[in-house]
Chain A
């Protein structure tokens, strides 16, 4: 069985974590999501999505579930692995004061789990004030510093020019992709990555959700050093928020996955379809540079 991809969704109270989770459940594109919350407080799932409610597990439309993990995340993740059918992706919604990197580190202790990004939400209308709050400012700073992707939500409430705020957030989250939005309306593939068939999905998705994102597919692609290429795409100035795809290496096919500043490569089956899809914000995704990078890799590979 392949490793279970896990995304941690962090951020302070009011940043929009629950809104984002519900948005993802509505736009999962056929993927079965499992949402893990610390505890069932105020019900974390929109009522119209709920099919059945148990003490610890809520069944959600589309084969999704929501589960509380209390103080034992490991046990909850093991339980998710044993569900039949198994979820395609796990979202861990952390509490407002939790340090999301610690949650991911704990999830990563399980060999059967693949870390698929720490996504931290920030309230554009409040983040500057909250950042200077004597009580919670340093907690928010820690959350941002650990983000692979920052979703800068509620941009309609930003008290300053969007570029200024985005640049400031980017400085607090070195290396992370910063995605401004309203009402947590972010394409699912930005938050939880591309699904099992990224190239096909790319062919069909000509405009991503509200048209703020665009994607390209790099193909054919080959590389001497897939892991190095993954890191380059993640950390270089290409404007890539998410990437996924397969390429040839001297050792065989490799799967590249990028979540914000994190890029990884893992061995893949020889039948994998070649091609690497990269998503970024329109105007920020540097298509020419990415094609040049791919061409260089292919030449050297």
Chain B
């Protein structure tokens, strides 16, 4: 790739405020020589003019700051969600609106299985079906002899059939566990709530590995989704990063045709803080351009819709008891201190506002001990943060990655059930974050919601819920801010803003290739802007050809 290629485009959105628009971009050695007019770029010397994007719109390659590569693996199971969703091969699966439709799709999938292979489905979300419970009798209609498991969209509930319960030794009366509801007959209904009870049954229905860690095929499939959604840099947040996973990720992402830059974060459990930080320092030294190892992910609390997030007073709107801690304050404090000392970045999952408060409270003294002027510790989700907390984030030099998609998928639930109208209206406060000067990005948490930064941007711009209400008009942001958030904003949270996130001299030649200009379509149509594919490190990937 020694030569220079100049691409022409209908227009180029550079995210470089000094030169926001261009018609051409010159690429050499996988990097951007510059963006401007053809005449300007011709000054770099001999070039090949490539006009394949002449009727396309180029943006900086989109950066997804919170996703899980396990989305790639999930697509090997049968999709059963309420919403239409595109798979890695580009096929859009229709959303299923009734339990009968779910069973019908499972029957079709069942017909293609041989032997006693378990049947696995994913993405079920009964809250859109008036919270109808799926039980083992439903799934028994699909097969009484083959074990069946259906994972909910939240990832926190697994439905299984009678056969699966038998294999797991749970098809008996008198089971006494809060995660295993019993039917009127005294036997489990087949609904398994929470990892404590999902984990032991999972292997019997084909969910036989940690959904947190990606496998080789999943990593490849995930990259196809990246190309289809214009993503060129994507986080894997988080992985246990066992040695064989690290080896596999380095090998696969290093292949000439692997189309994305993956940023895997090391999950904090499994090692005490001192060894954790040492391990991540070791991993950092193994990093390559397309596999950016060397960051830590801490999980402070659970999820709001699962009532396991930690909320400040007055807690849950429906009176549910406060959620669960997944880290002790002392442990968080020690990780922060040691990571700051070693120059390792930490991203912390805090869904509830008390979890956010804890992270702020633990980081402040750690920074007194190890002043680090550019740590960019990032709060992930941070859904319930109030304005005062955003001001503290700003003061402490933190970044935030807000879960803008949540309004669309669960906003109605938050309004009516989890946190109530007032807090639902200020959840994922994008405008407040920007007004307080907190570096901000927005995310999908794929596979929790589909990968697709343009959709996420749409969600932040419009704040529409699934039922069509605008929830939190005040916290809506403009299209320009939203597009900045999914490019430069996300790159900043990863210390990659000097390399990616804008189209300007010296940066990686990473582009999202779009069929329309997202700044000129109606804001309500932002999510529908078609993605042609990407250019990643100067390599062209057409969605139609992967």
Contact = CB atoms under 8 A, between A and B. Distances in A.
B177 A39 contact: no
A108 B177 contact: yes
Interface in B281-312: 310
Contacts of B177: 105-106, 108-109
Interface stretch (B126-134, B191-199, B446-454): B191-199
B326 A97 contact: yes
B270 A39 contact: yes
Contacts of B180: 109
B354 interface: yes
B169 A110 contact: yes
Contacts of A47: none
Interface stretch (A69-77, A220-228, A264-272): A69-77
Interface in B170-221: 170, 172, 175-180, 195-197, 199-200, 210
Nearest to B178: A105
B172 to A, nearest CB: 8
Interface in B202-252: 210
B54 interface: no
Given A41-B271, A109-B175, A109-B197, A97 B324 contact: yes
B328 to A, nearest CB: 5
A103 B200 CA distance: 13
Interface in A69-108: 70-75, 95-97, 99, 102-103, 105-106, 108
Given A41-B272, A75-B200, A13 B328 contact: yes
Contacts, number: 70
Contacts of B310: 135
Contacts of A203: none
A136 interface: yes
A288 interface: no
A136 B329 CA distance: 8
Contacts of B272: 41-42
B100 interface: no
B269 interface: yes
A70 B212 CA distance: 13
Interface in A202-239: none
A134 B325 CA distance: 12
A139 B300 CA distance: 14
Nearest to A99: B324
B200 A72 contact: yes
A301 B269 CA distance: 54
A134 B315 CA distance: 13
**Which of B177, B195, B200, B322 has the most chain A CB within a 10 Å cutoff?**
B200
Given A71-B195, A74-B200, A135 B329 contact: yes
Contacts of A139: 324-325
A289 B428 CA distance: 62
A246 interface: no
Interface residues of B, number: 32
Interface string B53-92: 0000000000000000000000000000000000000000
A40 to B, nearest CB: 8
Contacts of B326: 97
A109 B177 CA distance: 8
B325 A71 contact: no
Nearest to A139: B325
A109 B180 CA distance: 10
Contact of B358 (A106, A108, A135): A135
**Which of B322, B325, B326 has the most chain A CB within a 10 Å cutoff?**
B325
Contacts of A111: 169, 172
Interface in A163-209: none
**Which of B195, B321, B328 has the most chain A CB within a 10 Å cutoff?**
B328
Interface class of chain B by DSSP: loop
A138 B321 CA distance: 10
B197 A106 contact: yes
Given A97-B328, A111-B169, A138 B200 contact: no
A146 to B, nearest CB: 12
Nearest to B203: A75
Contacts of B271: 39, 41
Interface in B156-179: 169-170, 172, 175-179
A266 to B, nearest CB: 14
B49 interface: no
Contacts of A108: 176-177
A95 B310 CA distance: 18
Contacts of B210: 71
Nearest to B170: A109
Contact of A136 (B179, B197, B200, B328): B328
B325 A97 contact: yes
Contacts of B470: none
**Which of A74, A103, A109 has the most chain B CB within a 10 Å cutoff?**
A109
Contacts of A134: 354
A134 B358 CA distance: 10
Contacts of B176: 105, 108
Given A105-B196, A106-B197, A108-B176, A12 B328 contact: yes
A43 to B, nearest CB: 9
Contacts of B200: 72-75, 106, 109
A19 to B, nearest CB: 17
Contacts of B529: none
Contacts of A72: 199-200
Given A97-B325, A111-B169, A74 B199 contact: yes
B356 to A, nearest CB: 12
A137 to B, nearest CB: 10
Contacts of A75: 199-200
Interface string B315-344: 000000110111111110000000000000
Contacts of B169: 109-111
A13 B324 CA distance: 16
Contacts of A110: 169
B190 to A, nearest CB: 15
B61 to A, nearest CB: 34
A134 B272 CA distance: 25
B328 A39 contact: no
A102 B178 contact: yes
A134 B353 CA distance: 13
A154 to B, nearest CB: 17
Interface of A: 12-13, 38-39, 41-42, 70-75, 95-97, 99, 102-103, 105-106, 108-111, 134-136, 138-139
Given A72-B199, A109-B169, A134-B354, 12 more contacts: A38-B269, A71-B210, A72-B200, A75-B199, A97-B325, A97-B327, A103-B196, A109-B177, A110-B169, A135-B325, A135-B358, A136-B329
10 interchain residue pairs of minimum CB distance:
A74-B200, A41-B272, A97-B325, A106-B196, A105-B177, A96-B328, A42-B272, A97-B328, A39-B270, A72-B199
21 contacts: A13-B331, A39-B269, A39-B270, A39-B271, A41-B272, A42-B272, A70-B270, A71-B195, A75-B199, A97-B324, A99-B324, A105-B178, A108-B176, A108-B177, A109-B180, A109-B200, A111-B169, A111-B172, A135-B354, A135-B358, A136-B328
